Structure 1
Amino acid sequence: MDPVRRTLVRLLAAALCALAPLAGCSAPAPPVDAQVRRAVADWAAAPPQRLSGIPLEGWSYEVTSVRQEGARAYAHAELRYRLAGYDTAPAGSARELVLTRDGSRTAWRVTDERPSPGAPEQLWDQPDPVAVVRGAHSLVLGVRQSPQTLSEIAAEADRAVPAVSAAWPGPWARRVVVLVPASLDAMAALLGRPADTYRGMGAVTTGATGRGPAPADRVVVNPAGYAELSQAGRQIVLTHETTHVATRAATSARTPQWLSEGFADWAAYRDSAPAPAEAAPTLARAVRLGDLPPALPADEAFAFGGDQEAMARAYEGAWLACRLVAARWGDAALVRLYELAGREPLPAALDQALGTDLPGLTKAWQQTLREDLR
C-alpha cells in the first residue's frame, strides 16, 4: 500500500470512531494465535495438580499450530521437560491442548490436555495417580501398583546400575527411570504400539530397539510379564534394559541388532555366568537337531510381534556372540567394537577392534555354538 492510501485509511478509521462513540472504538484484538500461545504459556507456568510429587523441571510447550473452531481452540505443541536429577536433556512429547474463551473475546484458557493424535501417552495421562519411589540410582513412577512392588523394582534397578557401569565404562548418567503402568494395555499406550507387541515381555526401553538418539530413555515394565519372572529373571531383565539406557549415545542405525541386544544380555549375565545351554535353551534345541544358524542374527529377527521362537534364538545367539568376543578378545575389545560399530561400517569396526572380519567372527561363533550347545 502506498503512503497516500495508508494515510487515507487511517483518517477514515478515525472518522468512523468519531461518528460512532456509543459503539466504542478500540484497538483490534490480538490474533487468536497470539492469544492461545499466551494461554498455553500460562498453563505451563502452573502444571496440573496430578503431576505433584513427580520431580519435574523445565516444563514448557512449543506451540506448532493453532486451530479455532467456534468458541474452542486447539493448540498442537511439543512438551519439553526434565525429571530433576535424572534427565541429562529434555524429554519430549507431542501434545494437544484444548482452550475455551475465558469470559471475553480476547482471553483463552486451557481446559484440557492430551496426547496429539497418534502420539503415545505419558504415564500421568492415565486415570490413576502416579506414585513415586526414589532409589539410590533410580526413580520409579508407577500407577496402580503397591508401594512394596515399586520399592522392589527400585531395589532391582539400583543393583542394575552399578552392574551396567562395570560392563560399560563409557560415559552415561548412571541412573535410570523406570515406569510401571497399571497393565499391559497401559504399557502399550505409553509406547504407542499394540499390546500384543509386548505380551510376555518383562520390560522394554523407550526406543524399544535400543538405538537412535533419545536423551531421556525410560525403562517401561510390563506388570503382567514382570510378575511372572523369578527374582533372578527380573534382575536380568532390568539390567538388560538399563544397558540400553547406558549405551544409547554410542548406538546408531549402523549398530547391528545382534551387537546391541547381545551386549545388553552379556552385561546382564556377566556376574552370574550361566551355562550356555541353560541360558539359551531355544537355540540349544535347534543346534542339537542340526539346525546351526548360517549367519549372525539379522536385524529383522529381533522385531517385536513376530515369530517368538525365532526371536528367542536371535537373542540367545546374539548373547553368545558377544560372550565369545569378550572371552576371546577381552571385555575392553567388546566395548570398543560396540563404540566403533555405531560410527563406522561393521567390517571396519571388526577389523579395528578384533583384527578379524565378519566371516571369521561368524565361523568362530558357529564353532562355539557346536561346542557349548551340544
Structure 2
Amino acid sequence: MALGALLVGLSALTGCGGDQAPKGADATAVQRVLDQRAHAVVTNDGPAYRATGSAEPGLLDDLSEVPLGSWTYKLTHLKRSGTRATATAELRYRVDGYDKAPVVAQRRLTLGHGDDGWYVTADRPAAKAGEQLWEQGPVTAVKGTHSLVLGVGKPRSELRSYAKLADEAVPSLERSWGKDWARRIVVLVPESLEEMGELLGAPAAGYQGIAAVTTGEAGGPKTAPADRVILNPEAYGVLGEVGKQVVLTHETAHVATRRATSAATPLWLSEGYADWAGYRESDRTPAQAAPELRSAVQGGDAPAELPDDKDFGFSGDSARLARAYESGWLACRMIADRWGEAKLNAFYAAVGGRGERAGAVEGALQRVLGMDERDFVTQWRAYVRAELGS
C-alpha cells in the first residue's frame, strides 16, 4: 500500500482568482446579498443567514466547530433570466490560526428574485471543483498542540487519536527538515472513500490504496493557505499504530517541504523524501518497509533506473506504485546514510530551486554530492540489492 501523495496545485480545494467581477445593478445587488451571507456565516447569525436564501440551511450548524477567521464571496459571473439567475463566485475562507491566506473555492450559485430582492437558492461546488468538508455533514473539530483535525461522521475519540499522531509528526519534521515552515497541519477526515473523492473533485476509485493525500501548491509563498492532509478512512483505518504514524509523518513532510518543491522535483525525490521522513524514527527495516521491491530484487528483477513520474500514477497497479515509492525511499535513505541528513536536505532544496526539470537532478548531484547521475544510479542499484537481496 502506498503511504500517500502530494497533489500539486489541486483545484478541488483551492483555485486561482483573477476573473473580472460582472458589472451592473443586478451584479451589485447579488454581491450585496453574498456579502450579507458571508458576514452571517462568520458571526454565526442564523436569522441573517436565512434572510439571504434557502441554500444550505444547515451550514451554520455544520460549521459551528470550525474556527473560521474569515469568509467572503467574490462574484465572477452572473446571468439573469427573468426572476432567476445563475452565478459563479469565489468563496474565500480562512481557518483561524492555520491559514495565512484564504483558501479559494469555486462555487456555482442559483438565485431567485422577489419583492425583497435577490436571494440564494443553491450554493454548490463549480464544475470540476471539490466539495468542502462541511458539505458532507456536521464537522467535529479537535485541536492538538500542532494540529487541527476536522472530521465528519467520526467519533471525537478517533479524531483525538489522529491529532496525537499529528502532534508527534510535526516535531519529527522539525528534527529532520528544520523549523522554517508553518509547523502546523490541518487534517481532514471524511466519512468514507467516496467522500474523500468528493473533497478532491476526482473519482474515489483512484485513491483506494492511498492512505492519505496532501493538497497544496508546490513552491508557494509563506502566505499560502495551509496544506490539507486528507485521510482515506478505509485505507488509513486498517493500518496499525506504527503505520498510521508513518503516514501522517510522510504527509507532514510534504507540508514542510512544499516551498522547496517545484516543477523540477521528480516524484521519486518528493515521495522518497516523505517516506524517508516517515520511517526515519520508526524501527521498520528495509525488508519490512519495501516488501514489493524486495520481492522484485529476490526474483531477479531489481530496478535498473529510478522510477519515472508516471510510475506514481494511480493506475490500479498497486505493486508498481509500491515499488516506485520504495525505490524513491531507498534513494533518499542512501543519501542520508552515506552523506548525512544535512546533505539530503541540501540536495532536495537544490533540485527544487532550479525551477525546471531539465538538468535539475544532475546539477544538484554535482553541486551537493559531487557525482553525476549515472554514478548515483549505479550506487543506488547496489544499495537496493544490498538492503533487500538477502
Q: Same fold (TM over 0.5)?
A: yes
Is the contact between residue 242 and residue 282 of structure 2 (CA under 8 Å) also seen in structure 1? no
Q: Does 1:169 align with 2:178?
A: yes
The one-letter amino acid of 1:265's match is D
Q: What SS class does the counterpart of residue 202 from structure 1 fall into?
A: strand
**Correspondence list, 1:218-297, <5 A:** 218-297=228-307
Task: Indicate the residue corresponding to 1:38 in structure 2.
Answer: 32
Distance 2:314 2:277 in 1: 21
Deviation at 1:201, TM superposition (A): 2.1
| Contact 1:78-1:95 within 8 A present in 2 as well | yes
Q: 1:14 maps to which residue?
A: none
Residue 89 (1) aligns with residue 98 (2): no
User: CA offsets per residue over residues 245-299 of structure 1, 9 Å max, x none?
Assistant: 1111111111010110000011111112422111111101111111121111111
Q: Which amino acid in the other structure matches residue 190 of structure 2?
A: P
C-alpha distance in 1, partners of 2:365/2:335?
Answer: 10
CA distance in 2, matches of 1:249, 1:112: 37
Structure with bigger RCO (C-alpha 8 Å, 6+ apart) = 2
Match of 2:20 in 1: none
Q: CA deviation at 1:33?
A: 1.6
| Cα displacement (A) at 1:57 | 1.4
What amino acid does structure 2 have at the position aligned with 1:110?
A: V
Query: Helix, strand or coil for the counterpart of 2:101?
Result: coil
Q: Does 1:65 align with 2:77?
A: yes
2:272 counterpart SS class: helix
**C-alpha deviation, 1:112, in angstroms:** 2.7
Q: Which residue identity lines up with residue 187 of structure 1 in the other structure?
A: M
Mapped pair 1:140 → 2:149? yes
Please list every run of 5 or more consecutive structure 2 residues that lacks an aligned counterpart in the other structure. Answer: 1-23, 42-58, 355-359
Q: 2:204 aligns with which of 175, 188, 195?
A: 195
What is the letter of the counterpart of residue 365 of structure 1?
W
Aligned pair count reads 340
In structure 1, the partner of 2:5 is: none
1:60-89 Cα distance to aligned partner (Å, 9 max, x none)? 112111111322222211111111111122
TM (norm. structure 1) is: 0.88
CA contact (8 A) 1:196 1:305 kept: no
Query: Secondary structure of 2:105's match?
Result: strand
What's 1:18 paired with? none
Asked if 1 retains the 8 angstrom alpha-carbon contact of 2:209 and 2:318, the reply is no
Partner of 1:6: none
Cα pair 1:61 1:79 within 8 Å, conserved: yes
Q: Find the counterpart in structure 1 of residue 15 from structure 2.
A: none
Paired residue type of 1:46 = A
TM-score (norm 2): 0.84
What SS does the corresponding residue of 1:87 show, helix, strand or coil? coil
Counterpart residue number, 1:20? none
1:17 aligned residue? none
Q: How far does residue 211 in structure 1 lie from its aligned partner after superposition?
A: 4.0
Q: Give me the whole-angstrom Cα distance separating, in 2, the residues matched to 1:102 and 1:177.
A: 41
Q: Any unmatched runs of 5+ in structure 1?
A: 1-29
In the alignment, which residue of structure 1 is the partner of 2:377?
A: 362
Following TM superposition, by how much is the alpha carbon of 1:117 offset from its aligned partner in structure 2, in angstroms? 1.9
Q: Is residue 36–residue 75 contact of structure 1 (8 Å, CA) maintained in 2?
A: no
Deviation at residue 31 of structure 1 after TM alignment? 2.1
